[in-house]
Structure 1
């Protein structure tokens, strides 16, 4: 009796067939499975807005996302990632969700926490829930890991970062769109429109809703940049709520008032491949902008 075909096997077969059609064959398969997933790209970008206080000029935010530890991404790789992040000299670190692929099945949590603790950011480390952080009864596991490691988990909540008690920026985090309960008005309850506001959302497509509020930048992950992109066809692996915005920089809203950046993430999901979608760390340098 033939085995029931799983979604993962189905996608793997589609990907292999496409590579064959493109004339890449086994070489393309090996590249996508064993080479590109390790080709970490560090993307540098200015984060500009008139409301950024002058005292924050030059401060660096490092965003990383979607490590999916346990699914073809190891603790040794994560140690190297942490060293790379620290070498970038971040003032602020954001993790935008999906730390472990299956939190309730991950067996190396005791070794994971010290690595997260080693990440150094003098102005704070902040994180939000992704769908995999909630999945498999993982919500409290993820919370305990991140808070023990010195991250502030923002669950429909905001906080502020101040310098010399004179100037500040606000950081807002909402719950995951797939498996959580995001509440934008609740998250913005203590936020005023006359200060610079950054919102963290695992799912990028909520930007269409976020653009209706006094939020100036949104940082997201979730999409893996499509993870597998086929020339003339486009992304092969795009999850729900990353269909509209799946990679890079966008201006969103009727007046393009919201700047959105979608990080391609570090690990893989569903399939252990990356093709034309390298893993990414994003470094944002804060710069006040004249009106």
Structure 2
């Protein structure tokens, strides 16, 4: 039996379908702009290596990256995120670049708020940071350096530090930004440090293709935002240069091997949206094997 629709029924169904589509579109827009970018996730990873000294068992490193302050990410969100980091009781905190989206448009008063909030972070083995591409350019390079220094973060710009515990050590190195800085990786580690546990902070994850030529065990990166928008059957929508091959999560590369971890980061850039790509802070726990 064939069902016949009256003109009234047809128009009713078309109207309901149109309104439903508009409603879903608006709902998706609101979710991607207002909800998901503030739905902060905490990702836990365990890093195992025979090069990690026994005293560093359960040593906790928290990575923050890509806040992009001034572009859709508010001071209130920043303050909430800082409290969540402190709740993890990290031993060491690293910030892997892109504090602001455009430092030239932010006022001194805004930077003062960032400093006062950032100073609340606590880590007994220190707080370290590297430049991202949005931190460089114009007077921004100097401004961001001043903000981070006053926030009690130590800059690693083609430099390294020894993190010591119970007369053992691991090495933490940081590169200048690959895109807009002058990264120099070849002289970061000495020959005697080859067999130690070595961590590299590098803003752009795709630089790992060069890192594997050096004796690093762990690279922590951001920059890619996890694609920021992910669509089924399509994949990553927003991937920047040097953030296209390794976009999010964990990768094992090279013979040593190098473990690359790419954080989705916290803020947004270019588009004020996140979709199927929640912002995150990352907690790494070291384990000696």
Calculate the TM-score normalised by the size of structure 1: 0.89
Per-residue deviation, 1:105: 1.9
Separation of aligned partners in 1, 2:67 and 2:138? 17
Shift of 1:191: 6.8
Quick one: distance in 2 between partners of 1:97 and 1:33?
Answer: 23
1:41 matched to 2:41? The reply is yes
Unaligned runs of 5+ in 1: 1-19
Alignment of 1:109-148 (within 5 A): 109-148=111-150
2:71 corresponds to: 71
**Closer/same/farther in 2, CA of residues 231 and 44 from structure 1, 3 Å limit:** same
- CA deviation map 1:38-85 (0-9, x unaligned): 111100110111100100101111001000000001111111111111
Give deviations 1:154-205, integer Å, cap 9, x for gaps: 00011111013x1000000001111111111133358711110000000000
> Can you give the 5+ residue segments of structure 2 that lack an aligned partner in the other structure?
1-19
Quick check: which has more Rg, 1 or 2? 2
SS at match of 2:143: helix
Assess, with a 3 A threshold, how the Cα gap between structure 1 residues 261 and 217 changes in structure 2: closer, same or farther: same
How far the C-alpha of 1:104 sits from its partner, in A, is 2.2
Residue in 2 that maps onto 1:102 = 102
Aligned residues: 267
TM-score for the superposition, normalised by structure 2: 0.89
Whole-Å separation in 2 of the counterparts to 1:142 and 1:169:
27
Give runs of ≥4 in structure 1 deviating > 6 Å: none
Q: Which residue in 2 is equivalent to 1:182?
A: 183
> Which residue pairs with 1:86 in the alignment?
86
Contact 2:200–2:219 (8 Å) recurs in 1 = yes
- Aligned in 2, Cα 1:104/1:208: closer, same or farther, shift over 3 Å? same
Aligned counterpart, 1:221:
222
> Could you say if the C-alpha distance between residues 188 and 98 of structure 1 is closer, same or farther in structure 2, counting changes exceeding 3 Å?
same
Distance across 2 between alignment mates of 1:54 and 1:37: 38
Report the secondary structure of 2:182's partner residue.
coil
Tell whether 2:173 aligns with 1:150: no
Q: CA RMSD in A?
A: 1.6
